[in-house]
Amino acid sequence: MKEINVISNICTNIPKQKVTEEPDSLAISTRQLVIQNGLDYLEGTGADLICELCISKGGSCCNGCDKLIEGVGCQSRNTSCTSWLCGFLKYLLYEAGLHQEWNSFWNQVPGKNYRMDNTPSLFVVRKMLKVQNLRFLSEALVADLKKIAANHPSKDYIITIREEIDRNLIHLRVWKNHPEKILLAQRNIQILTMEFHQFQKAITEYRKTVRQKYNNKSLIE
């Protein structure tokens, strides 16, 4: 679950630790440090805002888990659940061009499992995640989703959208050597997200800023 827990950290007894980025150099990390880095990163993307809406529509990914205490949160924060992304969060990172970075980071972490982990206390990592402030993207996405939900009679309509986006994003990865399937998945994602007007505006602005930063950096170098 990435919901309210991310904001309040009430779900975990893990103390906050400072995360420093170590680009492409081998370093020892701890299980707790990667979990905290992941949580900080998600908080930076505003994941909690999306989770809040999702939970209100009955879509929590923690439903049925015995580690969840109602009104308190997750009692067993682990690398597996922290690394896992649902369709909404995956889509946000995918559109922001950060999905690969997220996956590469968690690929370094051994022992992930379903709703638990066997991650060792200490292990080697090459890179940590750099936390950014992308909450405006989540704010825009939530605004779109609220509007869509209000215009649709079925309570869990946006959860269906989430699942379909997820399915198609998985197809992009699984069928990467099949151009016609990739095209189909991309087309499906476009259709599923065609009412994400505020999000599209926000992501366009974000990409423009990233491009500008990149161009300025190239000029300096």
Closest by CA position to 4, among listed 54, 64, 78: 54
Considering beta carbons, is residue 57 or 126 the nearer one to ligand SF4? Answer: 57
Q: CB of residue 219 vs ligand SF4: minimum separation in angstroms? A: 39
Q: CB of residue 193 vs ligand SF4: minimum separation in angstroms? A: 15
Alpha carbons within 13 angstroms on the beta-carbon side of residue 142 total 18
Q: CB of residue 169 vs ligand SF4: minimum separation in angstroms? A: 13
Considering beta carbons, is residue 112 or 115 the nearer one to ligand SF4? Answer: 115
Cα–Cα distance measured from residue 121 to residue 34, given in angstroms and rounded to the nearest whole number? 10
Considering beta carbons, is residue 1 or 203 the nearer one to ligand SF4? Answer: 1
Q: CB of residue 3 vs ligand SF4: minimum separation in angstroms? A: 5
Alpha carbons within 13 angstroms on the beta-carbon side of residue 167 total 10
Q: CB of residue 76 vs ligand SF4: minimum separation in angstroms? A: 5
- Binding residues for ligand SF4, rule: CB under 6 A, are 1-3, 50-51, 54-55, 59-62, 65, 67-68, 74, 76, 78, 81, 86, 88-89, 115
Considering beta carbons, is residue 173 or 208 the nearer one to ligand SF4? Answer: 173
Write down the residue that tokens 């889509």 correspond to.
91
Considering beta carbons, is residue 173 or 211 the nearer one to ligand SF4? Answer: 173
Considering beta carbons, is residue 113 or 212 the nearer one to ligand SF4? Answer: 113
Per the CB < 8 A criterion, the answer to whether 4 and 52 are in contact is: yes
Residues in CB range of 219: below 8 A, 6 or more apart: none
Cα–Cα distance measured from residue 163 to residue 160, given in angstroms and rounded to the nearest whole number? 5
Q: DSSP letter at 29?
A: E
Torsion of Cα atoms, 52 then 155 then 94 then 117, to 10°? 60
Closest by CA position to 136, among listed 193, 96, 195, 103: 96
Q: CB of residue 156 vs ligand SF4: minimum separation in angstroms? A: 11
